[in-house]
Amino acid sequence: AQKVTQAQTEISVVEKEDVTLDCVYETRDTTYYLFWYKQPPSGELVFLIRRNSFDEQNEISGRYSWNFQKSTSSFNFTITASQVVDSAVYFCALRRDDYKLSFGAGTTVTVRA
């Protein structure tokens, strides 16, 4: 069985603060893929990043960065210098090689001006 846990239900920060979203996953597969999606109020899930289980390199894209650590089964996401437009629900997801995709419960991020 596979499971994704996002322990933080809600995070509220003031604009320009950094915010880190935690994601812990469970799987017995050796090949798997990890994703982060953003869901703004409009409802559409927007793809942010994908990582496969063999690539533990951290990645930075603008104000976004991701830290993947297989040793702790974590795939954390940091927004640096947050902006009001970052307010959304963020989902971590785990996908097996058989295409089964499991989402976490999501973390609601509110950035106050």
Residues that bind other proteins (CB under 8 A): 4, 33, 35, 37, 42-47, 50, 52, 91, 93, 95-106
By beta-carbon proximity to other proteins, the closer residue of 30 and 42 is: 42
Q: How far is the CB of 49 from other proteins (least distance, A)?
A: 9
Question: 14 or 99, CB closer to other proteins?
Answer: 99
Q: Please state the closest distance from residue 43 (CB atom) to other proteins, in A.
A: 5
Per-residue b or e along 54-81, where b marks 16 or more CB atoms closer than 10 Å to that residue's CB = eeeeeeeeeebbbebeeeebbbbbbbee
Contact 42, 25 (CB under 8 A): no
Q: Closer to other proteins at the Cβ: 56 or 97?
A: 97
Secondary structure of residue 84 in the 3-state scheme: helix
Based on CB atoms, which residue is closest to other proteins, 68 or 95? Answer: 95
**What minimum distance in Å lies between the beta carbon of 113 and other proteins?**
25
Q: Find the shortest distance in angstroms from Cβ 16 to other proteins.
A: 28
Chain mean position to CA 95: 13
